[in-house]
Amino acid sequence: MTDPIAIRFHDMELPDLAGRPGRIALVLPPDGRAGAAGRLIGAAARRALARLVADPRWHKAEAGDGFEIAWPAGLEAEALVAVKLPARAGVREARKAGSTLARLRGKGALTVLAGTAPHPAEIAFGLALRAYDFDAHRSPDADAPAGAPAVSFHVAQPEAAARAATPLAALAEGVFFTRDLVNEPANILTTEDFAARLGAMQELGLEVEILEPAEIAKLGMRLLLSVAQGSSAPARVVVMRWQGGGDEPPVALVGKGVVFDTGGISLKPAAGMDEMTMDMGGAAVVAGVMRALALRKARANVVGLVGIVENMPSGHATRPGDVVRSMKGDTVENVNTDAEGRLVLADVL
């Protein structure tokens, strides 16, 4: 799984700031007053920052927008980044500021001077989400650094910021898990591999049950199996349970997990069919939510159910006009085999 970038919270004591490599970022109010951060960057860099803040582009910028000053005088850093964030900014603006920091962070280390900026944990969360990069199948680059360097986040109250960031870090991991699943190609994320990845979440405390074709057929899920019957990849139904809320009735989340959707006999046009590897996005979201719940030790009862199939044309595939009986007992005429999602979801629901 792609790991979120490491973010560490520290206080505003930085005696070595002038010699730090990479980039230094400041989160500033609209008037540009840098406070303690301004004193840390030195007089020469403060003058460059003052010129930026006096520029009309800074005044026109929205909350969360940012600018960079290349090779700031008096600092070893390759760039000084300034992000605009009012003291009364909300969570959305704070996350946008974090996204801007991620966009402007460069390839090396990043030192963020946030001081008393609002919602530091949300800024860090936005940074983590924007820094996502799926490179599992890229050809090796000998010149690329080994892993993204950690972000050093300096705030007035680092302990409080770290506490607030802990549940958000779990949420980021759930988001990354979902993104990785959606980005995997269908020859890697097969129905069996998908189910196995969900089964591995038992290590987090989830109860995971994986149903194979014989068990699915015994339950009467004929609609779901009719979608899968044209593929050599066996269908799976995965049930994930998180029991953290006592005796309360659970919330149920249901997701469609079509690892590749050709349309079946009702074949899709070739243009854009490569994107049908993402037709399991609903199941991926359910899986990511369940992962985040477990990591956060959420006080909730949630069951996540996903139907995992591949919709392919073959001599065994469902034909337009076929009639199949659902788990509920209804008969369904399949007029177009590219309507596979509603069949999968009907039985899983």
Q: Is 191-348 the same fold as 7-183?
A: no
Pairing mode of beta strands 251-261, 301-311? parallel
Q: How confident is the model at residue 140 (pLDDT cuts 50, 70, 90)?
A: confident
pLDDT of res. 145: 62
Bridge partners (DSSP) listed for residue 325: 331
Alpha helices, DSSP H, located in the chain: 35-41, 43-54, 56-60, 91-103, 120-130, 158-183, 191-199, 213-219, 222-228, 281-296, 340-348
Look up the CATH superfamily of 191-348.
Answer: Zn peptidases (3.40.630.10)
Rounded distance, CA 293 to CA 300, Å?
8
By CB atoms closer than 10 A (0-12, 13-18, 19+), residue 274 is: exposed
Q: Is 142's pLDDT higher than 70?
A: no
Architecture of domain 7-183: 3-Layer(aba) Sandwich (3.40)
- Tell me: the pLDDT tens digits for 58-79? 999 999 999 999 999 999 999 9
Active site residue 297: no
Which of the following is catalytic: 39, 163, 319, 342? Answer: 342
For residues 48-57, average pLDDT: 97
Q: Where are the domains of the chain?
A: 7-183, 191-348
Torsion angles phi and psi, residue 234, rounded to 5: -70, 145
Rounded distance, CA 128 to CA 102, Å?
7
pLDDT of res. 147: 66
Which of the following is catalytic: 268, 291, 296, 319? Answer: 268
Q: Please give the C-alpha separations between residue 177 and each of 1, 32, 135, 195, in angstroms, as whole numbers.
A: 6, 38, 14, 14
Bridge partners (DSSP) listed for residue 256: 307
- Tell me: the pLDDT tens digits for 164-190? 999 999 999 999 999 999 999 999 999
Instruction: Report whether 304 contacts 250 (CB < 8 A).
Output: no
Active site residue 342: yes
Q: How confident is the model at residue 141 (pLDDT cuts 50, 70, 90)?
A: confident
